[in-house]
Amino acid sequence: MKTDIPSLLQRITDGDETALAVLFADYGAKVYGMAYTVLKNTSLAQEVAQDTFVQVWKNPAAWNPTKGQFSSWLLTVARYTAIDRLRREIRRTGQDVELHDEIASAENDDSLLRQLESNHVVTLLHHLPTEQRRVIELAYFQGMKHSEIAEFLQSPLGTVKTRLRLGLQKLKDLLNNQ
Amino acid sequence: MRDFEHLRELIPAYVIGATDEDESRMVEAGLTDYPELAEELREFQFLNDALAESVPEMAPPPEMLGQLLTAARGSRPAAHSAPKILPRPAQRQVKISWQLVAACLTLFLVLTNGFWLYRASVPTVKEIVFQGNPEAELIGLRCRIIVSPNSDSAIMIAENFPLLEVGQTYQVWMRRDGEIVSLGMFIVDEAGDGLLSFTADAINQPFDSIGVTIEPLGGSPAPTTPSVVRWTSI
């Protein structure tokens, strides 16, 4: 039986901590996985994952069922929370390039790589030209904007926009054709 | 009027949050001018969701659930109503302290250090759908057991159970090879929720069924009432 999300969220609205524990049991590994993928740091990922669930606890009505699955929404909250935290860390340490480089080295993490490679979407991502895949990864997992990617890769802004658009369009087509 | 084609080209990046601030403003304004832009947005939202779901699950640190419950308690907004104290004489037993619950869960997760490591590959969160009397199904009564394959402990989360009368407790029973043994007792809070921790061995071994009965406070050596709910092992 799937968790009945609306009733779980209603219980959270009523301040039911068991409901929060159930939500964590169901989604904790997904949320923590997203936070870690963005931050590549266990302590920061833990804080971000906790912040994500606390956001749900404080405002369970933020999820609008007409706009998509709860899981996708929760992961989007986790991703943006992680990206905000990443930006704060970059501002705090002033280690823009080093931090991004460290995160980019996720490709060297064998365990993570194996899990990623076993994933369907990531498999499709590897069908894209390297330069398109790279801008998607920078945008999606590191929260970079067009102009930031251009600066980071030392590429013309127009080129970055085109690569990102074509890459995402191709990925969407690949997904639709499955 | 903004250039539709230009806005359409920005949609994929906008959906994943990659547009710069001025571009985001343009897209948002364009969404009101061009209904077909909203359709394009919906199509790419599917891709955004697929990317989110593509991220591998990872084991959170074992202490995280306890910390989360503590943090949640400290950040309870005013909108949350205070715990409802119903004017009923029941439950004069020691009520569940959520600090204790958090501590139990934390202890459980610490003890089962490997639990989350197995979660991605092994279905460690077992859901038990109780097949009880029609009244139980009507109120959405539900239990789930969280257990690690290499742990000594398991936790059962009971939800939507009827409130107990004074001097009563819920008792969980397991039937194995014709023999009925008690797994323990639990009471429920005002929402009808309760927790019970017991040894994982109990459910890691084959068994016939698990049932919950209402018993006198302190428990009984054997069930004295019909099962409120029961789950038969498949």
Question: What is the predicted pLDDT for the residue at A100?
Answer: 47
Question: What is the predicted pLDDT for the residue at B88?
Answer: 33
Residue/partner pairs of A60-68 with CB below 8 Å, 24 or more apart: A60/A9, A60/A10, A60/A12, A60/A13, A61/A9, A61/A13, A63/A5, A63/A9, A65/A5, A65/A6, A68/B45, A68/B49
Residue of A nearest to B129 (CA): A1
Has residue B83 got a pLDDT over 70?
Answer: no
- For residue A172, which residues of chain B lie inside 8 Å, CB to CB? 12, 43-44, 46-47
The C-alpha of A92 sits at a distance from chain B's nearest C-alpha, in angstroms, of 22
Which has more pLDDT, B4 or A111?
B4
Query: How is residue A40 written in tokens?
Result: 């590549």
Indicate the range of A89-93, B118-122, B210-214, B223-227 predicted with least confidence.
B118-122
Contact between A13 and B76 under an 8 Å Cβ cutoff? The reply is no
Give the tens place of pLDDT for each residue, B163-176.
888 889 999 999 99
Question: What is the predicted pLDDT for the residue at A49?
Answer: 96
Helix boundaries (H) for B120-181:
134-138
**Interfacial A residues in 87-106 facing B (CB < 8 Å):** none
Mean pLDDT of B208-225: 91
What SS3 string covers A81-150? HHHHHHHHHHHHHCCHHHHHHHHHHHHHCHHHHHHHHCCHHHHHHCCCCHHHHHHHHHHHHHCCCHHHHH
Facing residue for B49 by CB, picked from A46, A69, A119 = A69
Q: Which helix (H) or strand (E) holds B211?
A: strand B209-216
Q: Does A53 touch chain B (CB under 8 A)?
A: yes
Among A150, A172, A176, CA closest to A162: A150
Mean pLDDT of B208-214: 90
Question: What is the predicted pLDDT for the residue at B196?
Answer: 78
Give the tens place of pLDDT for each residue, A71-88.
999 999 999 999 999 989
Q: Mean pLDDT across chain A, nearest whole number?
A: 83
Residue/partner pairs of B44-47 with CB below 8 Å, 24 or more apart: B44/A168, B44/A172, B44/B11, B44/B12, B44/B15, B45/A68, B45/B15, B46/A172, B46/A175, B47/A168, B47/A171, B47/A172, B47/A175, B47/B12, B47/B15
The C-alpha of A164 sits at a distance from chain B's nearest C-alpha, in angstroms, of 7
- Residues of chain B by 3-state class (helix, strand, coil), percent to 5: 35, 20, 40
pLDDT band (50, 70, 90) for residue B2: low
Facing residue for A144 by CB, picked from B18, B49, B101 = B18
Question: What is the predicted pLDDT for the residue at A122?
Answer: 73
Give the tens place of pLDDT for each residue, A134-170.
999 999 988 999 999 999 999 999 999 999 999 999 9
Q: Which helix (H) or strand (E) holds B9?
A: helix B4-15
Give the tens place of pLDDT for each residue, A14-39.
887 777 877 887 788 899 999 998 99
Strand, helix or coil at B201? Answer: helix
Give the tens place of pLDDT for each residue, B42-57.
889 888 888 888 888 8
- Name the amino acid, one letter, at B5: E
Q: Do A164 and B43 touch (CB under 8 A)?
A: no
- Cα separation values, B47 from A45, B57, B212, Å: 24, 19, 45
Sorted by sequence, the CB contacts under 8 Å of residue B221 that are 6+ apart come out as B182
Gap between the Cα atoms of B135 and B228, Å rounded: 9
Gap between the Cα atoms of B16 and B47, Å rounded: 9
The 8-class DSSP code of residue B89 comes to S
Q: Do A83 and B17 touch (CB under 8 A)?
A: yes
- For residue B18, which residues of chain A lie inside 8 Å, CB to CB? 139-140, 144-146, 149, 164
Has residue A55 got a pLDDT over 90?
Answer: yes
Facing residue for B56 by CB, picked from A7, A33, A168 = A33
Residue of B nearest to A59 (CA): B77
Facing residue for B18 by CB, picked from A4, A7, A146 = A146
